Structure 1
Amino acid sequence: MLKVGAHVSIAGGVDNAVENQVEIEGNCGQIFTHSPQVWDHGTIEDEEAEAFREGTAERLAGPWVIHASYLVNLCTPKDDLRAKSIDSMQQEVDAAAALGVEYVNVHLGAHTGAGVEGGIENAASALDELDVPDGVTVLVESDAGSGTKLGGQFEHLASVLEQSEQDLDVCLDTAHTFAAGYDLSTPEAVAETMREFDDVVGFEHLECVHLNDSKHASGTNKDEHAHVGEGLIGEDGMRAFVNHDAIVDRGVPLVLETPTEDGKSFAWNVERVRELREDVDA
């Protein structure tokens, strides 16, 4: 089964995410449990959590992913920010357990002067502070790699997985990967980039994909998403990616974070992904 969906709103209650996903004809997806711009997580009521779990079981294939707050910085050398980041992540993995969500996705953050090795060590040790409930896995997301942000190189992801005592996996964002300098714009480029990912990180750790096209060229480190097939990755690259054996054979969920513009929203992109998969199946 092709698992494709989008990052949808929980406005009015986390259980509303199920209906929001169904409306765009997605069958898996991603949510924030609270505003990603603040530390306050608020409270998810038991009734909301039960409705979310039941709605998901009845109407969606899954899985869901919780995206951690944008404020979280696992790589930071600053004690206060590190403590807040760990606390926020603990609340996210606990929320995931309450909601029956399998994954919590997080960016490594920026080392802000600690250096690449120091930042990776900080991230791994911060993740080791978490008490991750059974059935929940933390995913480290690939990054566009601007400034001192880590995660733009596959080696960064592999190093965190190796150094951490947690059972971590990876979420690969196609727009970020492309912006970081890994070409995905042709079938040949997709094959080469995926070979490198497997060599460095390993397909066994690829548990989710943020499927986004890019408004900027490969290697620019600029993170701005485009509709599937209409950015600089383009239709050929996106078709090759969604039909790559590592995605198809392992049933990796494809979660859209595409824009709402030009009269196109998540529903258009979900349908486009299905068309690109059918192009090969036909």
Structure 2
Amino acid sequence: MKVGAHVSISGSRVSSDEETPPYNDIRNAVHRQRAFGGNCGQIFTTSPQVWAQPEISEAAAAGFREETETQLEGPWVIHSAYLVNLCTPKEDLRRKSKESMQAELDAAAKLGVPYVNVHLGAHTGAGVEGGLDNAAGVIDDLDVPDDVRILIESDAGSGTKLGGEFEHLAGIIDRTETDIGICIDTAHTLVAGNDLTTPEAVDETIGRFNDEVGLEYLEYIHLNDSKHDVGTHKDEHAHIGEGHIGEDGMRAIVNHPDLRDLPFALETPTEDGRGFAWNIEKVKELHEA
């Protein structure tokens, strides 16, 4: 099973054979992932709360690639900055979003990471069709490196944010000339109005996704339980099996024949004395060999 967590790259890494760089070291992600019991996962390359360019030394990138190959099953996915809004009608935000995405795509190529994950963002008055047109325009303006694929993440669907409906995900695939994929977040999918609480509900939701979007586009899953119920559009993650999806739903998801071989990355909370290690172990318990 390919399961891991969204881990931090924070902190410098001291080495005897090179100068320690004055920024975070990407190699920290590998040993943190192993410490949590994961074998794949997700990272930010820089702070997601500001417009910042990834700063990754050649030595750190080479070390990350080597340690990933020898110590993890992979694959990694890079999560774009939270500020990125592909759907925006605002030219300045569009420009900044494009520049940020290009930097992440270039970092992915440097690190040997096959995916960059991004939310569609909010159309802020442009409307659903206009927002999807805007997003496709940004994506097609990017220079996507070989062996890197953009993944559009499903959203909780609050306000004018797009991606909460399968129709939005199909719409962006139809509009862009770029070979993009999809990352489904289970908590987002639930609160956007899709039942995942029983094996029957999981089957029905996956069937609708296949009919409307196509399972051939699904590349990664953010595996999160939810503190809020179906259709509430409230994005707050819970420990695996202890939210509104529950153990029955989570067991059905991680063992579903159309999903079980995909990589799962957890974005579960650290609270109640439990964190990523507890949640990864819980997923492994639910997964049937």
Q: TM-score range, shorter-chain basis?
A: over 0.9
Number of the residue aligned with 1:195: 207
Contact 1:103-1:138 at 8 Å conserved across structures: yes
Number of the residue aligned with 1:101: 113
Number of the residue aligned with 1:3: 2
Contact 2:42-2:265 at 8 Å conserved across structures: yes
Q: 1:189 Cα shift?
A: 0.6
Question: How many pairs were matched up?
Answer: 276
Q: Does the residue aligned with 2:50 lie in a helix, a strand or coil?
A: coil
Contact 2:54-2:104 at 8 Å conserved across structures: no
The equivalences for 1:205-216 within 5 A come to 205-216=217-228
The equivalences for 1:48-127 within 5 A come to 48-127=60-139
Correspondence for 2:27 among 10, 15, 21: 15
Q: 1:43 Cα shift?
A: 1.3
Q: How far apart in 2 are the matches of 1:56 and 1:107?
A: 26
| Per-residue Cα deviation, 1:65-84 (whole angstroms, up to 9, x for no partner) | 00000000000000000000
Number of the residue aligned with 2:53: 41
Q: Does the residue aligned with 2:5 lie in a helix, a strand or coil?
A: strand
Q: 1:148 Cα shift?
A: 0.1
Contact 1:142-1:176 at 8 Å conserved across structures: yes
The equivalences for 1:168-183 within 5 A come to 168-183=180-195
Contact 2:54-2:103 at 8 Å conserved across structures: no
Correspondence for 1:227 among 229, 233, 239: 239
Q: 1:40 Cα shift?
A: 1.2
Contact 1:185-1:237 at 8 Å conserved across structures: yes
Q: How far apart in 1 are the matches of 2:52 and 2:210?
A: 37
Detail structure 1 runs of 4+ shifted over 4 Å in the superposition: none
Contact 1:35-1:41 at 8 Å conserved across structures: no
Question: What residue identity is the alignment partner of 2:67?
Answer: G
Q: How far apart in 2 are the matches of 1:203 and 1:246?
A: 8
Q: 1:42 Cα shift?
A: 4.1
Q: How far apart in 2 are the matches of 1:120 and 1:75?
A: 6
Q: Does the residue aligned with 1:166 lie in a helix, a strand or coil?
A: coil
Do structure 1's residue 152 and structure 2's residue 164 form an aligned pair?
A: yes
Question: What residue identity is the alignment partner of 1:265?
Answer: G
Do structure 1's residue 165 and structure 2's residue 216 form an aligned pair?
A: no
Question: What residue identity is the alignment partner of 1:4?
Answer: V
Q: 1:247 Cα shift?
A: 1.0
Contact 2:195-2:202 at 8 Å conserved across structures: yes
Q: Does the residue aligned with 1:231 lie in a helix, a strand or coil?
A: coil
Q: How far apart in 1 are the matches of 2:168 and 2:114?
A: 23
Question: What residue identity is the alignment partner of 2:269?
Answer: P
Question: What residue identity is the alignment partner of 1:32?
Answer: F
| Per-residue Cα deviation, 1:142-180 (whole angstroms, up to 9, x for no partner) | 000000000000010011011101000000000000010
Structure 1, unpaired ranges of 5+:
none
Structure 2, unpaired ranges of 5+:
12-24
